[in-house]
Amino acid sequence: MEDKITIIEGPPPTFEAVTDGWVLGLNESPVLGHIVVTRLRTFNGPALVERCYSAWRNKQPIQLEFRSPEGLQQQAPIVAARTIELEEGQVLLLWVRLPDEDVSFELDYDEPGDEGNEDGDSLG
């Protein structure tokens, strides 16, 4: 039986590219893909992390099950998990492997001189 963590309610998860060096070791797989991270609010973060650790100890995969923005059911293998406590509550950090065709990157950076007005012209 394949174990999974399912997002039951709320919007589809947002995945962010990971640039940490330790993630490279998680990307060893016969399937090409990208390791990305998502942050999910939860009431039982430690139990969900333990579910991941238990699957991995038993050499079993564990999947994140979620709905895509189009409403389609999708799954992605979880490769790392961690929970953190914030003032607002618990947050579950899941690193998952997404196939190449499911990944698109959105670049967001400031050009030099963008500190000015809306047209990008610098004031001064």
Rounded mean pLDDT, 27-52: 85
Domain-located, residue 73: yes
Domain-located, residue 109: no
Characterize the bridge pairing of strands 62-67 and 73-86: antiparallel
Residue 118 has pLDDT above 60, yes or no: no
CA–CA gap between residue 35 and residue 16 (Å, rounded):
9
Domain-located, residue 107: no
Residues spanned by the domain of 46: 3-99
Residue 104 has pLDDT above 90, yes or no: no
Domain-located, residue 82: yes
Domain-located, residue 124: no
Q: What is the tally of structural domains in the chain?
A: 1
Does the pTM of the predicted model rise above 0.85?
A: no
Domain-located, residue 115: no
- Phi first, then psi: what are they for 26, rounded to 5°? -85, -10
Rounded mean pLDDT, 32-45: 88
Domain-located, residue 106: no
Domain-located, residue 31: yes
